[in-house]
A and B are shown apart, each in its own frame.
Chain A
Amino acid sequence: MTSQAQVRRLLSLVPYLREHDGAAMADVAGAFGISVRTLREDLNVLWMCGMPGLTPGDLIDIDMDAVEGEGVIHLSNADYLTRPLRLSTDEALALVLGLRTLREIAGPGQRAAVDRALAKLEAASGSAPTDQASVSVTAGQDETQARITEGLQRGLRLDLTYDVASRAETTRRMVDPLRVFVLEGYGYLEAWCHSAVGLRTFRLDRIAAVEVTDVPVEPHPDVVLKDLTTGWFETLKDAPLVTLDLAPEASWVAEYYPTEATTARSDGGLTVTLRVRDPGWLRGLLLGLRGGATVVAPEGAGNSAAEAAQEALDQYAALLDPASAG
């Protein structure tokens, strides 16, 4: 721990302890996200501090008997530190961006609360500029988010119409909503899907329609929600590997999708190895790249894209020259 981080914390700890006289060590440590041991070190520093002169009457007073005995903190003689320091620019920005990100997936009621909190924080942070950073989230339509929020809050099953991008089709299913999250710039609904009989993740912007039913959700005690700290990596880790040669104009693929290996090619393109969970996703990618990518391995992984392309070309031939269609 750096001294700077400790100074920053102590300047908040003193007014906090004045506000919460007799607070338990464990509660204070919890509120500050530190261990009880770190808190004890903080208190040891604090009671060596005080007004210039540092005679016993000048020092911040902490009842160390109460700390050691009942494990509670009584702090006094620090009347000059009744308020925390203003928010610094990094603190204000980090918190404001957090709120704005929440706003993107919130329902209307929460959005209003976010707006009020933002206004109060911006007023309190005074000169700290909060316009120097922004985060945009691709999320659902307002109505979609309002209904999902309602389902979550009231514990009601949702009737979901969802576009499965890799299969290019729309599905309809009953789901028990469990959570709405944001990961890498997109908002998702995580829900127990009664059609698939399993936990599924739905991108909010691909939810075509949602209705709140009057059926209460079932308890799902054994469901383990996705761990957001690992990104999409965990979901993909057992998926088969596919190696692609990318032409220069298709090399953006290496930036957009997590790659296992990337090597430069002499023509300015890349050879990349990706984990592919869904063959339909790969087919769509290859078709969209319009020849900019070719499959190196495994053999045949690109066949379904080529077949789909040929089928499409046959349709064009029939349409443009009906005679040839026979």
Chain B
Amino acid sequence: MAPRKTERILNLTICLLVSGRFVPKSRIRDAVEGYHDLSDAAFERTFERDKDELRALGVPIEVGTFDPLFDDEPGYRILPGEFELPPIDLDAEEASVVGVAARVWQHASMAASTSSAIAKLRAAGVEPDPSLLASLEPSVQATEPGFEPLWVAVLERIRMSFTYRDGARRTLEPWGMTSSKGRWYVIGRDVDRDATRMFKLSRITDLPRRESKPGAYEVPADLDLRSLARALAPPAPTEEAVLALRAGRAPGLRRRGRPGSAEVSLPSGFEVHVVAFSELGSAAEEICRYGADVVVLEPAELRARVVQGLTAVAATAAVSATSGAA
């Protein structure tokens, strides 16, 4: 059946593409072979579905009633200028980066979208050749089960609902998606809260469900995904800590900081560095990771946090030692 259906849809496309003016539905039914043997009702259903499929592929089918002979019957046409890919001329370097980009997606349906984009470019005379850049392999993963339904929802503007990790049911008008540190986030209008919200896909606990037809809302024209995504990055540092670093250790902190000095006498082999940080909690976490290679001299507040954290970790050994002895 599939080849027959493909034939019918392709013939429909050609019929609307070559006519130059609106073709009434009755004329389409006569002209396109796959519609001949269908009952009235079956023709209506099939024709509607075929149009939907073509539109989903991005084929611009216009509706109008300009033909005086068929004036109460809708007519359809495809304008070649709207249908055709505009000329695109890529030099060898540009074609080569496009060839690399073609292999980026490690996700079946995204990879399929990329391949069909590449097929169109090839049909337009571009020859993407990644071999010039064989040693570059960017890749994008999307392993979250919610990725695909939400991606389709973003493209087609479909309102979606899902359960978030806190157990709450959310209804969202998805505007866009962004990936940071390999994790996907969806941004949109939370319908119940009437506010812009961002959700991490790995924290969605069920498969997002459709709550509307396509085209249910408008995406704000001034949507700036990159600045919304920047909210995911750590805030810019505003405070400074004076740290003693063991020589040669904690390179991450050392490189971010600058050499400093301190009044106190340091453990031997330590050097003072001044390092900027933005928030006590994340600074304490980073510093604790280095264990005995970093000593916080100032501020006292940060030192207290670090000492508290280290005390908790030291206690875990004491507990297991005790339970081991019992």
Residues of A within 8 A of B (CB): 1-16, 19, 31-33, 41, 44-46, 48-54, 80-95, 97-99, 101-102, 104-106, 109-110, 113-114, 116-117, 120-121, 123-124, 126, 128-129, 131-138, 152, 163, 165, 168-170, 177-186, 206, 208, 228-229, 231, 255, 283-292, 294-295, 299-300, 302-303, 305-313, 315-316, 318-319, 322
Contact = CB atoms under 8 A, between A and B. Distances in A.
B118 A95 contact: yes
A180 B137 contact: yes
B131 interface: no
A199 to B, nearest CB: 14
Interface residues of B, number: 131
Contact of A163 (B82, B86, B202, B251): B251
Interface string B131-172: 001011111110100000001001100000000000000000
Contact of A181 (B54, B105, B138): B138
Contacts of B193: none
Given A16-B122, A84-B85, A91 B117 contact: yes
A269 to B, nearest CB: 13
Contacts of A123: 86, 88
Contacts of A133: 151, 154, 176-178, 225
A98 B101 contact: yes
Contacts of A182: 137-140
Given A45-B10, A229-B106, A319-B264, A102 B100 contact: yes
A95 B98 contact: yes
A302 B313 CA distance: 9
Contacts of A95: 98, 101-102, 113-114, 117-118
B265 to A, nearest CB: 7
Between A9, A84, A99, A186, the greatest number of chain B beta carbons within 10 A of the residue's beta carbon is seen for: A84
B307 interface: yes
Contacts of A179: 135-137
A126 B267 contact: no
Contacts of B82: 86
Interface of B: 2-3, 5-7, 9-11, 13-15, 17-18, 31-33, 53-54, 56-60, 80, 82-91, 93-98, 100-106, 110-125, 133, 135-141, 143, 151, 154-155, 175-183, 200, 202-203, 219, 223-226, 229, 248-252, 255, 264-267, 284-286, 288-295, 297, 303, 307-320, 324
B122 A168 contact: no
6 contacts: A7-B6, A90-B151, A121-B98, A302-B317, A308-B291, A308-B292
B248 A80 contact: no
A45 B6 contact: yes
Contacts of A322: 265
Contacts of A165: 252
B3 A41 contact: yes
A294 B14 contact: no
Nearest to B10: A49
Given A9-B119, A165-B252, A288-B285, A88 B18 contact: no
Given A110-B97, A303-B317, A288 B289 contact: yes
A183 B141 CA distance: 7
Contacts of B289: 168, 284-285, 287-288
